[in-house]
Amino acid sequence: MNALGRHILAEYYSCDISALDNITFLENCMRDAVVASGATIIDTKFHQFSPYGVSGVIVIAESHMAIHTWPEYGYAAIDFFTCGDRVDPWKAFDHMSLTLKPLNHSTKEIKRGLLAPETDKLLEAPPLTL
């Protein structure tokens, strides 16, 4: 089925704790992941929490990629959201897997903005009833 975008939700478990609390390292890794995917960086914003943890987002011409870390659990949650067919979010996922070296991970890919195959028109969900 055609879609406007692909959104990979990734969870990385048992990562290197020091890597998950290093804002410079994480920003550089995320930038490299964006480049590996073929996306175009527009802007970045990363924040170091106290006592530990990092959140960051890279706005790309094709959408965004974001990370949130919990070093105390060795855990990172990363979103790879890309639009169009030119960018491959799985290449960004692979890059982050190599750099964070999790012992385990889980992923889910969601198609965003589903298009009807016969017409290429946007499919709309039925309205919610309360």
CA distance 33 to 27: 10
Catalytic one among 7, 15, 29, 63? 63
18 is catalytic: no
State the Cα–Cα distance between residues 13 and 39, nearest whole angstrom: 26
Q: Is 95 annotated as catalytic?
A: no
Helix (H, G, I), strand (E, B) or coil at 20: helix
Helix boundaries (H) for 1-130:
17-20, 23-37, 89-100
**Active-site option among 7, 29, 37, 83:** 83
Which of 55, 68, 97, 105 is flagged as catalytic? 68
Cβ contacts of 63 within 8 Å, gap of 6 or more: 5, 81, 82, 83
Measured in degrees and rounded to the nearest 5, phi and psi for residue 128 equal -75, 140
Q: Is 97 a catalytic residue?
A: no
Catalogue the active-site residues. 63, 68, 83
